Chain A
Amino acid sequence: MKTIAELEAIRQKTLKEVGMRTDNDSIRVVVGMATCGIAAGARPVMQAFLTEIQKRDIHNVTVTATGCIGVCSLEPIVDIIDKDGTKVTYVNMTPEKVAKVVLDHLANGKVCSEYTLKENQ
């Protein structure tokens, strides 16, 4: 038998998983997954995002794939788009860098400027 508190706990837990079906105001992590991106290692980057986000128990973040962003020499490229629409582009991503971006940017709201397109052009 479940109590009302247990019901609420189930709700919170499952909402993290299914919230993407209604949330429109979440932070979006967009990974460039065109041929160039995949060849440069976008798949492990994408998977690293999922593991790290889950590990840190961060809500309101959706991770999606997109086509070629255009600067193929800097792939894997990841855009993080905030709720207000501001976009930060990270380049030459690796699973190790992802761990830091998730912690700094997604968990603490601080841009990891050393990995951004601005700093690496």
Chain B
Amino acid sequence: MQLFRSHVLVCGGTGCTSSNSEAIMSELNQNLVKNQLDSEVKVVQTGCFGLCEEGPIMVIYPEGTMYCRVDVKDVPEIVEEHLLKGRLVTRLLEASSQVQEDNQDIEQSSFFKKQLRVALRNCGRINPEEIDEYIAFDGYKALAKALSEMTPVEVIQTIKDSGLRGRGGGGFPTGTKWDFAAQQVNDEKYVCCNADEGDPGAFMDRSVLEGDPHSVIEAMTIAGYAIGATHGFVYVRAEYPIAVHRLQIAIDQAREYGLLGENILDTGFKFDLEIRLGAGAFVCGEETALMTSIEGKRGEPRVRPPFPAVKGLWQKPTILNNVETFANIPEILLKGSEWFASMGTEKSKGTKVFAVGGKINNTGLVEIPMGTTLREVIYEIGGGIPNGKKFKAAQTGGPSGGCIPASHIDTPIDYESLIELGAMMGSGGLIVMDEDTCMVDIAKFFLEFTVDESCGKCTPCRLGTRRMKDILEKITLGKGVMSDIDELETLARDIKASSLCALGQTAPNPVLSTLRYFRDEYEAHIRDKKCPAGSCKALLAYEIIEEKCKNCGLCLKNCPVSAITGNKKEKIPFVIDPTLCIKCGVCFEKCPVDAIKK
């Protein structure tokens, strides 16, 4: 093994890969050779660092310097200045560390300082395609401990004591779930991993699989030992090619090391894993539909009970946990249940990963202790709202969840507080909305999603969600009537009460929650035929305020449909012809004196 003085970590997550991180890596290698540094400096491809907005990300150790938005043409400078001569390339430093140049360690930047990375501990630290690097950071140590020092009952008790709850959204206590399956007597049991991440905007499971696939393999093996299963399946969507690729490499490496297969670590325990690719149906994230799909049938949910812990895959006792849940398991076994339970709130222990997106400066992946407030996530870690706009609401739980309005921005985030607000934890998508977002439009967006993704097996979900979507569409087109709101509420109540699975049971949530906090916006659309956020095109009317207009003619020049008339020299005032206007908003944006209102 060769000792390198420096490691250059380049993000190989989906985000940074799509902004060309692979070309950066090859350019880096070429430049290292050119400067005869290839025996001193090693290039390492890692998983996601979390700060996707600033990608492609590069981190140079031992200094821990983080370079952001690195371009291929920046690479020669980084090699010659930083790696050869030891001088920082300051223009590429992350914004917050630019202010304080001597403080260049990434851990100290505002984006990372408030985070606590447990599930994401190895993402952006190790090369996910090198099992040795995972082992170096205590990988497979928890499995060794479980197999050699603990009984299955003790493993389950540790998970129970830690207070870990399902990170896929439901929040069911993981230890209890394992206990149910362990108590079943059967010749065959299964361990499944739900990597069918489908909420719009959520990508934490993908990032764990891309950045630290061995943590999931190790945890599933531990789960197999705990419940008495010898076989496992990872159900992952085919749209995650990098995750699938790295997971397969990891499984092969684990088999080669005897960490999967017969007689694991010479303890006599056997366990093996297979990947099953999902075709991308949202409903397959529901546990019974997922298992039906693994069995090779059409992915449709079925009635529970019996619960999967009793009768799951091929009618055998099965546990199904989410990727992020599994990623926590090895750390809990190594550091103890008290350590895990010391983080978080009374009923929600540990940390939670959120994929923060929408109207936010630092789009990316953050892991925070439960009980962190939304304000901290948005303004401290997330860097606030772009263009000085006002925060309006945040949507959690995707199409199953709801929104948290600005008035509740100081609520500590945990399972209970979100439910109380009418939202839910969900898998951890957090979409930030500013004053320009129309809440009726957002509700319509999520309903369109559930209409598309409803499997059609039960009527309330298949027809009910479509009816709700139709009404919302009517309202955003300015054709709503006041009784529509009552009808939305009735439909929502009926769909929630009578749908077969969680997809339908939670589908009305975005409507109910926006109605709860932003009823006035619905009423404005219906009664005043106005969209207060200025987002619903059908309800917009652009108008030039004559007193403010300086007759510069910029609006006229830029209007794509020649709907604006007026003349500066002849002093004919500028006006918009509403019959020609297509409401594109160009004049509004171009006007230098804000003389156009909508």
Contact = CB atoms under 8 A, between A and B. Distances in A.
B62 A62 contact: yes
Interface stretch (B3-11, B399-407, B492-500, B510-518): B3-11
Contacts of A54: 2-3
A7 B84 contact: no
Given A7-B265, A11-B136, A50 B9 contact: no
B144 A4 contact: yes
A20 B62 contact: yes
Nearest to A51: B3
Interface string A34-61: 1100100001001101100110000000
A73 interface: no
Nearest to B46: A21
A101 interface: no
Contacts of A22: 125, 137
A71 interface: no
A18 B126 contact: yes
A4 to B, nearest CB: 5
A2 B5 CA distance: 30
Given A1-B258, A65-B83, A21 B138 contact: no
A20 B61 contact: yes
The SS class assigned to the A binding surface is: helix
A98 to B, nearest CB: 13
A57 B62 CA distance: 18
B445 to A, nearest CB: 41
A86 B588 CA distance: 62
A64 B86 CA distance: 7
Contacts of B135: 7, 10-11, 14
Contacts of B261: 1
Contact count band on B: 35 or more
Contact of B138 (A2, A4, A11): A11
A13 B1 contact: yes
A20 B125 CA distance: 10
Contacts of B265: 1-4, 7
B62 A26 contact: yes
B39 A47 contact: yes
B87 interface: yes
A23 interface: yes
Contacts of B133: 14, 18
A17 interface: yes
Given A2-B257, A4-B265, A11-B136, A67 B40 contact: no
Nearest to B267: A4
Nearest to A13: B1
B62 A46 contact: no
B466 interface: no
B266 interface: yes
B126 A46 contact: no
A1 B3 contact: no
B39 A17 contact: no
Contact of A47 (B40, B132, B140): B40
Contact count band on A: 35 or more
B85 A65 contact: yes
Nearest to B5: A63
A64 B41 CA distance: 10
B263 interface: yes
B3 A50 contact: yes
B26 interface: no
Contacts of B138: 11
Nearest to B107: A24
B63 A64 contact: yes
Of A4, A18, A20, A64, which is in contact with the most chain B CB atoms at under 10 Å from its CB?
A: A18
B3 A16 contact: yes
A66 interface: yes
B148 interface: yes
A22 B83 CA distance: 19
A33 interface: yes
B133 to A, nearest CB: 6
B488 interface: no
Contacts of A20: 6-7, 61-62
Contacts of B62: 20-21, 23, 26, 28, 62, 64
B531 interface: no
B141 interface: yes
A33 B125 CA distance: 27
B137 A33 contact: no
B262 to A, nearest CB: 8
Contacts of B139: 11
Contacts of A49: 5
A32 B39 CA distance: 18
Contacts of A26: 62
Contacts of B257: 1-2, 7
A62 B7 CA distance: 11
16 contacts: A4-B266, A11-B138, A14-B136, A16-B1, A17-B1, A17-B4, A20-B62, A21-B7, A33-B86, A34-B85, A34-B87, A46-B40, A49-B5, A54-B2, A62-B5, A63-B5
Given A33-B86, A47-B40, A50-B3, 11 more contacts: A4-B148, A7-B141, A10-B136, A17-B1, A19-B136, A43-B36, A50-B40, A54-B2, A63-B5, A64-B5, A66-B87
Lowest 9 CB-CB distances: which A-B pairs, in order?
Answer: A1-B258, A65-B86, A14-B136, A62-B62, A66-B86, A63-B5, A54-B3, A20-B62, A14-B132
Interface of A: 1-4, 7, 10-11, 13-23, 26, 28, 30-35, 38, 43, 46-47, 49-50, 53-54, 62-67
Interface of B: 1-7, 9, 36, 39-40, 61-63, 83-87, 125-126, 132-133, 135-141, 144, 148, 257-259, 261, 263, 265-266
